[in-house]
Amino acid sequence: MIGALASLPIASGALAARKDDPLLFAYFGTGKGEATGLKLAISDDGFAFRELGGGQSYLAPMVGEAKLMRDPFVFRGAGRDAAWHMVWTTAWDGVTIGHATSRDLRHWSPQRALPVMAGVPGTRNCWAPEAIWDARSKRFVIFWSSTVAGRFAETAGTSESGYNHRLWYVTTRDFVSFSDPAVLYDPGFSVIDGTFARAPGGRLHLIVKDETLTPPRKYLQVASAASPTGPFGKPGTPFTPSWVEGPMTTAIDGETVCYWDVYRDGKWGAAATRDFVRWRDVSARLSMPAGARHGSLVRIPRATADALALGPA
């Protein structure tokens, strides 16, 4: 087990989101955005997002190897008090991810660097962490992408700069004690930016990015998931162009909409599906904050959104 860490308020129980709740987009920005911290935007329809707080940071990063905040992922806890959690990438190279909790998304607990890969020799990085509640085990599954030296030799050299990623995970009930890290998903290629989504009927899917450089793939694919820890089906046909990253999803009007960062062009794309096989491009409907990069989506109560509109605490 990863040792018990500093105490924090116990994460709260996931309250069912209303379909008419506003949609919060948590992200980091271009330029020095990864050092300035958490940016927020809000949308009533899931397509037009308006920046909150005049683009100010709602939480400046203070922990981890490089004290960065990339790829913020906001989610609700499990228990009786409904606290919010956030995990994020703290550095390009290292063995930690960031973690903090909040009651209102404006005031945050002390940040912690969770050493999720400290016990795995040869770990190079921990990128784009996310979390999902596993109702079967009554634990959260926290997962991310890591390159570990000497692992998965069959795909060595297929990504830039010697990276060769797989999805790894730990489980926790309280965000204090954690299971030992293990490989969550190995599709036979270098893979990053995993995110889970549920079909309208409740079936779980895992969306990932193929990081293969030559020939360039760099697109998103989806695999069925029997549970948050698998087993997983074979990844399907790519449903995005190449050179995208950071998938995030939400449900709108009976469809699942997946959004992605077209990072080389400084724009965003999106597609909608009912079955995770046939996808309909809806990119033309998007209006995203200028400079927004990889982040996450979550529905929040209207009162919480109104308070966030006042700006950072």
HSE-CB for 154 with a 13 A CA cutoff: 5
Mean predicted confidence (pLDDT) in 282-287 = 98
Mean predicted confidence (pLDDT) in 267-287 = 97
Q: Which structure tokens are listed for 13?
A: 């129980």
Q: What is the CATH number of the domain that holds 210?
A: 2.115.10.20
Q: What is the mean pLDDT of the chain?
A: 93
Q: Given a cut of 50, is residue 3 above it in pLDDT?
A: no
Q: What is the dihedral of CA 127, 133, 137, 139, to 10 degrees?
A: 70
Q: Residue 292 has what pLDDT?
A: 97
Domain that holds residue 81: 23-308
d(CA 38, CA 88): 10
DSSP labels, 207-224: EEEE--TTTT---EEEEE
The residue among 253 and 4 whose pLDDT is bigger is: 253
49 found inside a domain: yes
Q: Which structure tokens are listed for 275?
A: 């079955």
Number of domains in the chain: 1
Mean predicted confidence (pLDDT) in 272-293 = 97
8 found inside a domain: no
Q: Would you place residue 170 in the very low, low, confident or very high pLDDT band (cuts 50, 70, 90)?
A: very high
262 found inside a domain: yes
14 found inside a domain: no
pLDDT tens for 220-268 read 999 999 999 999 999 999 999 999 999 999 999 999 999 999 999 999 9
Furthest-apart CA atoms within the chain: distance in Å: 52
The residue among 30 and 89 whose pLDDT is bigger is: 89
Q: Residue 16 has what pLDDT?
A: 55
1 found inside a domain: no
313 found inside a domain: no
13 found inside a domain: no
Contacts of residue 201, defined as CB under 8 A and 6 or more positions apart, other chains included, come to none
Q: Given a cut of 90, is residue 4 above it in pLDDT?
A: no
pLDDT tens for 252-262 read 999 999 999 99
Q: Residue 231 has what pLDDT?
A: 98
- Which of these, 105, 42, 108, 111, lies nearest to 74 by C-alpha position? 105
Q: Given a cut of 50, is residue 183 above it in pLDDT?
A: yes
**What letter represents residue 294's amino acid?**
H
Percent of the chain beyond pLDDT 70? 93
d(CA 198, CA 205): 6
12 found inside a domain: no
